[in-house]
Chain A
Amino acid sequence: MSNTQDHIQDDNQIDSYRRKLLGGGAALAGAAALGSGVFFTSIARAKPDAEPASSEIRWGFLIDTNKCADNCDKCVTACNDEFNLTGFGRPETDAQWIRTVTLRDKKTGHTTKLPLMCQHCAHPPCVDVCPTGASFKRPDGIVLVDKHTCIGCRYCMIACPYKARSFVHETIENQKEYGPRGKGTVESCTLCVHRVDKGEIPACAEACPEKAILFGNMNDANSDIARRMASTVSTEIRGDLRLDLGVRYQGI
């Protein structure tokens, strides 16, 4: 029962968020006039260490695929370096937290390239199916795997419509201090939660030479991401699934 209520409350929050987006044009224009400068390398405020993640915040990406260069994979390299995602020469099972996808319109032949990672859904299917509760969503919208409770069943990998998750098949020895990884568990993009909590932006967004990946708080009407979302059209991949994604794309 309480679960149902939570869901209703969640949906109401989302509705009000959508209303704000769609209907608050005048308010947004005012906010834009008051707004601070454009930040690309840092977000407005680092979270104090002792403070838990807040549900007032919804972290997300707005990705402009028009800026995505054909031969560029700097976001992928940056992610691999950040977490030491080394390959074992088996591309089908090697860890892949972010990858570039090229879409081709069969009729016109027009191609679009975009980076694809965990979409950090508000209603994540991976969390729904997880039998141990290891797959979870932080209050600020970041979807993570608790590897302490993950049993490596890989239901979440099947449930994810974006193929965003990887399974660790090998013993890992070169972990970073902030990025624990281990054999027998599932992993995916963490939205660089270790950086975000410090007030920094994710590694892929930082590495993009074209600034195609914009990171920010989608709930804050004054943030760059919310303003750009309000002023230009952006879409969700497989929006028909109504998962309310934390990653939105322009130009697809």
Chain B
Amino acid sequence: MKAKRNTQRFWLAAFIFVLFSFGVMADVPVPDIPEAVKGEQCVEETGFMRRNHMELLLHQRDDTLRKGIRTQKHSLKNCFTCHVVKGADNQPVTVKDSRHFCRECHDYAAVQVDCFQCHTSVPGGAKTTGTRP
């Protein structure tokens, strides 16, 4: 008798959980991760990159700046070579645009990216040359 009641409770809980899950999915749009331009395998396995890209970037930045090691594999520059999103004008969108590759997930996870306070967020950087008044 007790076992039967437990089973009933389980199915009720499962039903509520499923309902709730659908509700969440309906309310918050999951990140629509843009395809990489080259469409090939990333520099590391995708799951690994999702969990560890920040570690790779942190390691690379110190190696590059402090020691002068300029390998491209884990560089921020290399991210944008493939993960570039183009706007209506066929120009790469900057991080100001919510379609930017980094923002798709970072907006969803509410994790602020500080990289672009200094770094350019498009391949090749700014095209304009400096003018001084």
Chain B count of residues within 8 A CB distance of the other chain:
26
Known: A81-B130, A89-B133, A177-B125. A182 touches B118 (CB 8 A): yes
Binds A, one of B21-29, B42-50, B59-67: B59-67
Q: Is B132 an interface residue (CB 8 A)?
A: yes
Chain A residue with the shortest CB-CB distance to B123:
A177
Contact between A49 and B129, CB atoms less than 8 A apart:
no
Distance in Å from the Cβ of A43 to the closest Cβ of chain B? 14
Output the least CB separation between A89 and chain B (Å).
Answer: 5
Supposing A50-B71, A84-B130, A87-B133 touch, asked if A175 and B65 sit within 8 A by C-beta, the answer is no
Least CB separation from B63: chain A residue? A52
Q: How far is the CB of B84 from chain A (nearest CB, A)?
A: 13
Shortest distance between the CB of A186 and any CB in chain B (Å): 12
With an 8 A cutoff between CB atoms, is A180 at the interface? Answer: yes
8 Å CB interface, A62-116 against B: 80-81, 83-87, 89, 94
Q: Does A181 contact B65, Cβ atoms closer than 8 Å?
A: no
8 A Cβ contacts from A119-167 to B: 136, 138-140, 144, 146-148
Chain B binding surface SS class: loop
Give chain A residues whose Cβ lies under 8 Å from the Cβ of B61. 148
- Are B118 and A185 in contact, CB atoms less than 8 angstroms apart? yes
A84 to B119 CA separation, bound complex (whole angstroms): 13
Q: Give A179 to B126 CA distance when docked, in angstroms.
A: 10
Task: Tell me the complex Cα distance, A85–B125, Å.
Answer: 14
B69 contacts which of A52, A83, A84, A185 (Cβ < 8 Å)?
Answer: A52
Given A53-B68, A177-B77, A83-B130 contact (CB < 8 Å): yes
Is the pair B133, A180 in contact by a Cβ cutoff of 8 Å? no
The chain A residue sitting closest to B80, CB to CB, is A177
Q: Which of A49, A139, A140 contacts B70 (CB 8 A)?
A: A49
Q: Considering the complex, give the chain A residue whose CB is closest to the CB of B58.
A: A148
A178 to B133 alpha-carbon distance, docked (Å): 24
In the complex, whether B8 has a CB less than 8 A from a CB of chain A is no
Asked if A236 lies at the interface with its beta carbon under 8 angstroms from chain B, I say no
Q: Do A175 and B68 touch (CB < 8 A)?
A: no
A182 touches B117 (CB 8 A): yes
Residue from A47, A148, A175, A193 within 8 A of B126 (CB atoms): A175
For A52, list chain B residues within 8 Å (CB).
Answer: 63, 67-69
**B122 to A, closest residue via Cβ:** A177
A208 to B130, CA, bound (A): 18
The reply to whether the CB of A228 lies closer than 8 angstroms to some CB of chain B is no
Residues 177-208 of A at the B interface (beta carbon under 8 Å): 177-183, 185, 193, 197
Do A84 and B128 touch (CB < 8 A)? yes
Q: Which residue of B lies closest to A138 (CB)?
A: B68
- Is B124's beta carbon under 8 Å from chain A? yes
Nearest Cβ distance between residue B127 and chain A, in whole angstroms? 9
Q: Which residues of B lie under 8 Å from residue A175 when comparing CB positions?
A: 118-120, 125-126
Is B132 a contact partner of A87 (Cβ separation < 8 A)? yes
Binary flags per residue of B75-118, CB closer than 8 Å to A gives 1, else 0? 00100000000000000000000000000000000000000011
12 contacts between A and B (CB under 8 A): A81-B130, A87-B132, A89-B133, A136-B66, A139-B67, A139-B68, A148-B61, A176-B120, A177-B123, A177-B124, A180-B119, A182-B118
